[in-house]
Amino acid sequence: MDGRGFAARYGRYAGGPDPLAPPVDLAEALEAIGHDVMAGYDPERAMREFLRRGGRQQTGLDSLAAQVAARRRELLQRHSLDGTLRQVRELLDRAVLSERQQLARDLDEDARFAELQIENLPASTSAAVTELAHYPWRSAEARETYQQIRELLGQELLDQRFAGMKQALQGATEEDRQRVQEMLSDLNDLIEAHRLGDDTDQQFADFMDKHGEFFPEQPRTVEELVNALAARSAAAQRMLNSMTPEQRAELLELSQQAFGSPELSRALGRLEDNLQLLRPGMDWGGSESFDGDQGMGLGEATGVMQDLAELDALSEQLSQEYAGARMGDVDVDALARQLGDEAAADARTLAELERALSDSGYLRRSSDGRLTLSPRAMRQLGRSLLRDVATRLSGRQGARDTRHPGMAGEPSGATREWTFGDTEPWDVTRTVGNAVLRTVGEGRDARRGVALDIRDVEVVETEARTQAAVALLVDTSFSMAMDGRWVPMKQTALALHTLLHSRFRGDRLELITFGRYAERTGIESLTGLEPVWAKGTNLHHALLLANRHFRQVPQAQPVLLIVTDGEPTAHLEAGGEVFFDYPPHPVTLAHTVRELDTSRRLGAQTTFFRLGEDPGLARFIDQLARRVDGTVVAPELDDLGAAVVGSYLGSRGWSARGFGLDDLEGF
C-alpha cells in the first residue's frame, strides 16, 4: 500500500442475472400449473398460462402487455406532428413583424415596394419561406430570425436521421455545417460501396476515424451502422406518412431551405434511397394517427415513431403467441426504456421462472415429444395439496390431538407435547433441550442446574402397525367435469396418494376411476385424465376392482372411499359388456349392492363422499351406507380433500381434527 488509497464506484450490476437476487419460488407456479393440468391443459400450455397471469406477488405477461399498450396510447394521444411547422410559422411571423416595423420607419420608394411584397406573402408557410429566400431584409432582427428558420430546418432534418444532432448543432458555425455535409457525402459513398458488394472494411475504419464523433453508439461494422441508420430512417419515413398531405407537402418544400440551400435535402434523400435498397424488409410504409396537441419537432417525432415500433415489438414478444416463443425473447432493455426498471425486473423474474421450471426437473419431455409433469413435480404438488388439507383439518372447530397409537405402536419419527393420559415414552433429548431453553429464557443461569417442568416434556409419537389396503374410487362420469368437480377430485386423489407414500408407506393404495367402465390407474394418469363424454356411472365395476385389491392384501385392513355425484347407471355383465340405463335399472342397483356387500364381508370400512344436492342421490347413498355400516360425507368442493384424508386418518386410528402442519415435517 502506498497510502494513496483506492477509489470505488458503485452502480447497477450489468453482468447478467443478479447474483444476490433470491431464487424464484416455484411452489406457487407449480401449484397453478398442476391445477391447470388437472383441468385438462397440457403442462407447457399450463406453464404459459401461469407466466401470462402471473402470481400473487408476481406481475404476469398480460399486465406487462397492458402497460405497453397504455404507453402506446399515451404517446399517440399526447403528441402531434406539427411541432416543427408551428415553430417555423412562429419564427416567420416574428421576422415579418420586425420587417414591417422597420419598413414603416423607412420613407423611400423601395420601402413601399417591400411593404407590398411583405403584405402579399402566400398564406402557406412553406411558400412564404421560399419567397423570402432572396428578400433583401432591412431589419437586422428580421434577417437573423429568418436565418433561424433555415438553421432549425437543417437541424431538424439531420436530427431525423441522426438522433441528438439537433442539440449538437446548436450554435454551429458554417465550418461545422460543412463538416456535416462532408460526413454525409462520405457516408453515402461508404454505403453505396457496401451495397455494391465492395470490401469496405478499411473504408469503414477510415470513415469512423474521421467522423466517429457523429455516431456516439460507435458501430463496430458497416452492418451495424446500416442497421442503426435504417431503423432511424424508416421511422422518419413513417413519421412523414403519418402527417396530413398538406403538412407533408409543406415540410418537403421547407426542407429545400435547410441551411439556405437544397444540398442537405439532396444528401439525405440519397442516404434514404441507399438504406431502403439495403433494408427493404423494414417498415418504410407504416403510419400512425396522433391525436394530441403537444407538438413535436422532426427529430423528436422520429424518436417517438421508433418508440412505437419498439412497443409493437414488445407487444408481440410479450404475447408469446408465435411458434417457439420463450421468455428469453423479451427485450428487457427495451422494456426498461419504455416502462422503467420495475417492469424489466418483472420480465427477468418471469424468464427466470420459465428457466427454473424447465431446469428443475419438474417438467420433462415424453417419448412422443410432449411436455409432462415429472414424478418430482407430482410429489411437490401433492405436498402442497396435502398442506392445504392439513390446514383445513387443523382449523376445524374442537380440534384436539387425540392419536390412538395402540399397544403395538412403533415410533413415527415425530414428537409432541405431553398431555394428561399419555403413556408414550419421553423423547429425552427434546425434553431436556426444552428445559434448557426455558431456563435461559427466564433469565436464569443454566450452568447452576436445570429443573424439568411438565411443560418441557415431549413424548415419542407412535402409530399402529396394522397395514391398510385403501381403495379410492372416483367418479369420472362427464357430470363431474360439467359441474366443476373434475379438478377437486384429482386434487383429492393426489393429496391422499402423497400422504400414503410419505407418512403411511406400509399402506397399499389403489386408485380406481369409474365412468362407463372402471379401471385401475396411476396417479400420473389420473392427474392428466381428460373428461370424455360417455354415458354411465359404473360403480359396480369399480367395486369389483376394489374387492380384488382387498383380496390381494388379505392381512391388511380394507378401507373403501367412494367419491361420486350420481347414482349407478351402469354395471358389468358376465361377458364383460356394459349395461347402461337411465334412470338406474333395478338390475344395475342389485349388482352394485351385491358387490358392496362383498366389500363389507371383506371387512371394509366404507365412506361415501356425496357431491351435489340431488335429493334422490342423497337418499340412495344413505341407504347404501346404512346397509354396510358406512359413513356419508357431503363436503363442499373446497373441503373434499380434507374430508377424504380425514376419513382415511380416522380409519388408521388418527384424529383427523388433530392432524396439522406439524405432521407434515420431513415430507
CA 190 – CA 188 distance, rounded (Å): 5
Cell numbers 357431503 correspond to what residue?
Answer: 634
**CA angle at residue 120 from 118 to 124, to 5 degrees?**
100
Average pLDDT, integer, range 463-485: 85
In order of 120, 231, 234, 286, 365, the CA distances from 281 in angstroms are 47, 11, 10, 12, 37
Cell numbers 402442497 correspond to what residue?
Answer: 384
**Per-residue pLDDT tens over the stretch 508-539:** 999 999 999 999 999 888 887 888 888 899 99
CA 385 – CA 390 distance, rounded (Å): 9
- List CB contacts of 412: < 8 A, sequence separation 6 or more: 460, 461, 462, 463, 503
CA 41 – CA 480 distance, rounded (Å): 17
- List CB contacts of 523: < 8 A, sequence separation 6 or more: 378, 382, 493, 494, 497, 511
Closest CA to 544 of 568, 528, 508, 580: 568
Closest CA to 471 of 535, 417, 524, 519: 519
CA 581 – CA 250 distance, rounded (Å): 83
Average pLDDT, integer, range 118-139: 92
Q: Which amino acid is at 663?
A: D
Average pLDDT, integer, range 141-150: 93
CA 165 – CA 161 distance, rounded (Å): 9
Which CATH number is 468-664 given? Answer: 3.40.50.410
What's the whole-model pTM score? 0.66
Average pLDDT, integer, range 460-488: 83
Cell numbers 378401507 correspond to what residue?
Answer: 559
Mean pLDDT of the chain: 84
Return the higher-pLDDT residue of 659 and 617: 617
Average pLDDT, integer, range 587-615: 93
How far is C-alpha 347 from the chain's CA centre?
A: 8
Half-sphere exposure of 552 (CA within 13 A, CB side): 13
DSSP helix/strand/coil, 292: coil
So what's the pLDDT on residue 359?
74
pLDDT-wise least confident of 43-57, 542-556, 606-620: 43-57
Q: Which amino acid is at 284?
A: W
**Per-residue pLDDT tens over the stretch 39-63:** 766 677 778 888 888 888 889 999 9
Average pLDDT, integer, range 486-504: 86
Sorted by where each begins, the domain ranges of the chain are 26-79+311-373, 82-289, 405-463, 468-664
Query: Does position 170 have pLDDT exceeding 80, yes or no?
Result: no
Count of Cβ atoms closer than 10 Å to residue 631 Cβ: 14
pLDDT band at 240 (very low <50, low <70, confident <90, very high): very high
Closest CA to 645 of 624, 663, 665: 663
Average pLDDT, integer, range 423-435: 81
CA 633 – CA 618 distance, rounded (Å): 10
pLDDT-wise least confident of 362-366, 461-465, 495-499, 608-612: 461-465
So what's the pLDDT on residue 86?
94
CA 544 – CA 510 distance, rounded (Å): 12
**Per-residue pLDDT tens over the stretch 72-95:** 999 999 999 999 999 999 999 999
Closest CA to 556 of 510, 587, 590: 510
Three cell numbers written together for 243 = 402527417
pLDDT band at 666 (very low <50, low <70, confident <90, very high): very low
Closest CA to 153 of 247, 264, 312: 264
CA 513 – CA 475 distance, rounded (Å): 6
Three cell numbers written together for 628 = 354396510
Average pLDDT, integer, range 320-337: 90
Query: Does position 148 have pLDDT exceeding 70, yes or no?
Result: yes
Query: Does position 321 have pLDDT exceeding 70, yes or no?
Result: yes
**CA angle at residue 53 from 51 to 58, to 5 degrees?**
75
Q: Which amino acid is at 122?
A: P
Q: Which amino acid is at 581?
A: D
So what's the pLDDT on residue 375?
75
CA 307 – CA 315 distance, rounded (Å): 12
Three cell numbers written together for 561 = 372411499
- List CB contacts of 598: < 8 A, sequence separation 6 or more: 543, 547
DSSP helix/strand/coil, 420: coil
CA 417 – CA 567 distance, rounded (Å): 46
Average pLDDT, integer, range 466-473: 90
Percent of the chain with pLDDT over 70: 87
Average pLDDT, integer, range 442-471: 77
In order of 20, 80, 224, 233, 355, the CA distances from 14 in angstroms are 13, 36, 22, 30, 19
**Per-residue pLDDT tens over the stretch 263-301:** 888 899 999 999 999 999 999 998 999 999 999 999 999
So what's the pLDDT on residue 29?
77
Query: Does position 362 have pLDDT exceeding 70, yes or no?
Result: yes
pLDDT-wise least confident of 112-116, 200-204, 360-364, 519-523: 360-364
pLDDT band at 590 (very low <50, low <70, confident <90, very high): very high
Three cell numbers written together for 395 = 382449523
So what's the pLDDT on residue 400?
33
**Per-residue pLDDT tens over the stretch 26-38:** 777 777 777 777 7
So what's the pLDDT on residue 5?
52
Torsion-angle region of residue 320: left (phi > 0), alpha (psi -120 to 50) or beta? Answer: left
